[in-house]
Chains A and B, each alone.
Chain A
Amino acid sequence: MCTSTLEHPHAHTPATTDDAPLSYADPAQQPRELERTVEAGDHFIGLVRAGQHLRITDLHGNQAADTLFFSADDTAERYSAMDTVREQGKVYLTTGTVLYSTRGRALLTITGDTCGRHDTLGGACSSESNTVRYDLEKRHMHSCRDNWMLAIARYPKYDLTKRDIGHNINFFMNVPVTADGGLSFEDGLSAPGKYVEMVAERDVYVLLSNCPQLNNPCNGYDPTPVAIRISDSPLS
């Protein structure tokens, strides 16, 4: 489903060790321990059980992983950028940040971060917003929201529709806010191998789009793979 016209030269990374599916149709069937490579323009949907650790690794650097979280008990409760930013009193996310839900409850806590800063204000790319940000003729290009739409259509057991798609986290993105109220998009602080790790405070679904954005200089116009790992034991 990746319609990127750019062939990136990077070798396939070894995070997927067998031909197991990237995502499971039934979250209950997902093994507890899981490690996968998510190529740019692809999506991952999965379950992180309470107490488990989730690590996302920027394999080649300057990539953005546009991520949503949902309470697995009731997907009407989801990650809230506003509640998270307000309750921690800070715009960026890093080690120690609690990711709050729309009901003001903790979904996950960031326990390790070698990147240092992640954005939650800038939202995800979509074909519609690309027409506004870049050019009316960019509508046909692949986007994070298209990734999410395909995931929720393909995996109905996760009980998600467009209504549930809210304001997300952009792991590895650097979107500085200035004192006079400006907002800019800067080259990432990320680099090959940098990661963010978090622990789930309850059972959560993670819905990740590895951004296929070819219009933003942040990734050098070369979207690259990320790795995702779900584990009972902390990795950092």
Chain B
Amino acid sequence: MNIPLDAATTARASFTAKYQTHLPGGHHWSMRMPRGSALKLTAREANANVGLVMYNPLDLLERLNLPDTLKGQHTFRLTEGHCLYSDMGRIFASIIQDDLGWHDSASGNLMEQHFAAKGWHKKAYQQAFNDFTPSGHDSLLIEMAKYGLSERDLCANLNLFSRVRADEDANLHYVADHCAAGDSVTLRFEMDTLVMLHTCPHPLDPAEEYPLRGVDMTFGTATPMDEHDACYLSRPENARAYANNQLYHLAG
């Protein structure tokens, strides 16, 4: 762990579940999550992957910024205690619970051109109906278009549930069997956030055929953050980013 958490002074946040639904593998979805809400994602099958981007619904130019998220917290892997920064020095969401210990922030999306190289048989809707096999890239473009966003607005995405490590020589390795069925991660939203996600496979997934692996989604209300909060205390950078959120919310 590179997060200096002191168990005596930090507290894991909790949330009250209000609604649950399921997103099957190879599908996409979006939702405006209000400040103070929470979203728990639970892998229904082993080796799930969720591609995720975030935008400010009131200013769609403000987006998830993974470079700022990584360098602000001196980490290449995201897990409990970390925050997800926007490009405006604010926190969209904090990771208040995580069974996996590592979520990939460097590999981007599955794209059309990967299918042939992987030997995956691309299934069209006419062949497989809703078990067809879209790319993660196209899936995000579909959700983005619903809000007037296009390719120009696509930012670097997170891959929740997936782990890609770098060795001594900085070569990347996809870690198979990182995610077990039932593993979960919970995001708490620190400002109103437009979340777009897909359940298409990770671009480095070595499966022999396109895997359809879904997630359960639980929506709820988070307990209010206080000064003992683990995400607030994990890094001095996070405390400053929360201060920027506080300034943003002064306007109501």
Chain A contacts of B151 at CB under 8 A? 76-77, 102
Do residues A182 and B67 form an inter-chain contact, with CB atoms below 8 A? no
Smallest Cβ distance from A169 to chain B, in angstroms?
Answer: 11
In angstroms, Cα B157 to Cα A82, docked, is 9
- Interface contacts (Cβ under 8 Å), in number, total 133
How many residues belonging to A are interface residues under a CB distance threshold of 8 Å?
A: 46
Taking CB as reference atom, which chain A residue is nearest B239?
Answer: A132
Answer whether residue B89 sits at the interface, using C-beta atoms and an 8 A cutoff.
yes
Do residues A167 and B2 form an inter-chain contact, with CB atoms below 8 A? no
Do residues B74 and A86 form an inter-chain contact, with CB atoms below 8 A? no
Chain B contacts of A126 at CB under 8 A? 68, 87, 89
Do residues B106 and A182 form an inter-chain contact, with CB atoms below 8 A? no
How many residues belonging to B are interface residues under a CB distance threshold of 8 Å?
A: 48
Chain B contacts of A132 at CB under 8 A? 68, 72, 85, 89, 237, 240-241, 244
In angstroms, Cα B230 to Cα A72, docked, is 46
In angstroms, Cα B241 to Cα A129, docked, is 9
Answer whether residue A133 sits at the interface, using C-beta atoms and an 8 A cutoff.
yes
In angstroms, Cα B169 to Cα A163, docked, is 34
Chain A contacts of B244 at CB under 8 A? 128, 131-132, 136
Question: Looking at the complex, which one of A123, A135, A162 makes contact with B240 (CB distance below 8 Å)?
Answer: A135
Question: Looking at the complex, which one of B61, B65, B68, B74 makes contact with A183 (CB distance below 8 Å)?
Answer: B74
In angstroms, Cα B151 to Cα A104, docked, is 13
Q: Which of B31-39, B160-168, B178-186 contacts A (4 or more CB under 8 A)?
A: B160-168
Chain A contacts of B90 at CB under 8 A? 128
Answer whether residue A31 sits at the interface, using C-beta atoms and an 8 A cutoff.
no
Answer whether residue A184 sits at the interface, using C-beta atoms and an 8 A cutoff.
yes
Answer whether residue B102 sits at the interface, using C-beta atoms and an 8 A cutoff.
yes
Smallest Cβ distance from A39 to chain B, in angstroms?
Answer: 24
- The answer to whether A82 and B108 touch (CB under 8 A), given A102-B151, A132-B237, A167-B67, is yes
Do residues B2 and A85 form an inter-chain contact, with CB atoms below 8 A? no
A-B contact pairs, 6 of them (CB 8 A): A92-B170, A128-B89, A132-B241, A162-B61, A181-B165, A183-B71
